[in-house]
Copies of this chain bind each other. A is one copy, B any other.
Amino acid sequence: MQTLTVDLGDRSYPIHIGAGLLNQAELILPHLAQKRVMIVTNTTVAPLYLARLTATLEAGGVAATQVILPDGEAYKNWETLNLIFDALLTQRAERKTTLIALGGGVIGDMAGFAAASYQRGVPFIQIPTTLLSQVDSSVGGKTGINHPLGKNMIGAFYQPKVVLADTDTLKTLPARELSAGLAEVIKYGLIWDVEFLSWLEANMDKLRALDPVAITHAIHRSCEIKAQVVGQDEREGGIRAILNLGHTFGHAIETGMGYGNWLHGEAVAAGMVMAAETSRRLGWLSDADVARTRALIRAAGLPDVAPDLGVDTWLEYMGHDKKVEGGKMRFVLLKKLGVAVITGDVPADVLTGVLTAPH
């Protein structure tokens, strides 16, 4: 097991990464304000891990109830969130009752927002069971739901008490979702650490085969980079935006194709190629840099070409992104591999060039 501390003053918390963590009550018990929890999970994860987590907690003397939500981004909405509130209120959960998110990013986002909002805030623990959520949702405190007019438009910044990233849970993850998680891992290399990028190029096969040493290192390094960035900018006023590399394009892909048809990581992967391509057209990346980015993304089993939405649709869906400021669109691009930059200065013809029949 490796442990990383996310340093946020009095809201600091540990992330434990390793195999078999679901069996270790001692990682959870010190963080409970009351020996009472409600586990939020979904219909896919519940049959796999709910009994094990419940048994671990009950062996530790904790009363654990549960709410099982339908699975998928399409359910990341108010109606599903309200199922959590209904369960909390029906069970008369109190201010010290801890919510535990057991599942992927959608479960973490919804359980986290429910924890932030129920009685204006109850304690929250995250047990991410997908690679994407282990390397993304574990750090940063972003929670929320979608609105018909935009993704993640309603939510809160809310930090967990502890995160358990049990790498055993990745064994049941579909290959496509493993790849989607690798998109975010690649992102950390692209924006922050070209050595990590090289390491990923050398170890991609091991990662896709879930080699325990490789996957633990990849998760640890990813969380470490994200924690460094978030530690400098908890509420996303500045540098934190570099974590959105590929996301402005990616959100447009997700919206344009309908939530859930492209996985978030797949959309981000194709979006990162578009960001790299934009950076190349601005003279910052070489042809070889873009080719290297594409090759790594393909090696991870990810798409490197976005769907052709048409320029107007691209612009419309990109305009709703949270990185719009003063009516001007801002982009996360690459000054070079391993160095991200935030800029509002992308000439219209460069942008149009990238958006016209992406390839």
A61–B176 Cα distance when bound, in Å, is 52
A120–B157 Cα distance when bound, in Å, is 6
A89–B148 Cα distance when bound, in Å, is 9
Q: Answer whether residue A96 sits at the interface, using C-beta atoms and an 8 A cutoff.
A: yes
Interchain CB contact under 8 A, B235 and A121: yes
| Per-position binary interface string of chain A over residues 69-108, scored 1 when its CB falls under 8 Å from any chain B CB and 0 otherwise | 0000000001000100110011010111000000000000
Known: A120-B155, A142-B120, A324-B92. A149 touches B86 (CB 8 A): yes
Q: Answer whether residue A144 sits at the interface, using C-beta atoms and an 8 A cutoff.
A: yes
A157: chain B residues at CB < 8 Å are 120-121
Task: Find the residue from A144, A155, A235, A324 having the highest chain B CB count within 10 A.
Answer: A155
Chain B min CB distance to A21 (Å): 28
Chain B min CB distance to A193 (Å): 27
A322: chain B residues at CB < 8 Å are 95, 119
Interchain CB contact under 8 A, B325 and A156: no
Interchain CB contact under 8 A, B325 and A85: no
A188-220, CB < 8 A from B: none
A118–B120 Cα distance when bound, in Å, is 16
Interchain CB contact under 8 A, A156 and B120: yes
A96: chain B residues at CB < 8 Å are 325-326
Chain B min CB distance to A252 (Å): 15
Q: Answer whether residue A150 sits at the interface, using C-beta atoms and an 8 A cutoff.
A: yes
Chain B min CB distance to A140 (Å): 11
Known: A78-B78, A147-B85, A149-B90. A154 touches B235 (CB 8 A): no
Interchain CB contact under 8 A, A320 and B92: yes
Nearest B-chain residue to A113, judged by Cβ = B117
Q: A118 contacts which of B34, B118, B154 (Cβ < 8 Å)? A: B154
A307: chain B residues at CB < 8 Å are none
Known: A322-B119, A326-B34. A153 touches B94 (CB 8 A): no
Chain B min CB distance to A146 (Å): 11
Q: Answer whether residue A116 sits at the interface, using C-beta atoms and an 8 A cutoff.
A: yes
Nearest B-chain residue to A79, judged by Cβ = B78
Q: Answer whether residue A319 sits at the interface, using C-beta atoms and an 8 A cutoff.
A: yes
Q: A144 contacts which of B86, B92, B120, B236 (Cβ < 8 Å)? A: B120
A325: chain B residues at CB < 8 Å are 94-96
Chain A interface (Cβ within 8 Å of chain B)? Answer: 34, 78, 82, 85-86, 89-90, 92, 94-96, 116-121, 142-144, 147, 149-150, 153-157, 235-236, 319-320, 322, 324-327
28 A-B residue pairs with Cβ-Cβ distance under 8 Å, sorted by A, are A34-B326, A78-B82, A85-B147, A85-B154, A89-B147, A89-B150, A89-B320, A90-B149, A92-B320, A95-B322, A95-B325, A96-B325, A96-B326, A116-B156, A117-B117, A117-B144, A117-B154, A117-B156, A118-B154, A119-B155, A119-B322, A120-B143, A120-B144, A120-B235, A120-B236, A121-B156, A121-B235, A156-B156
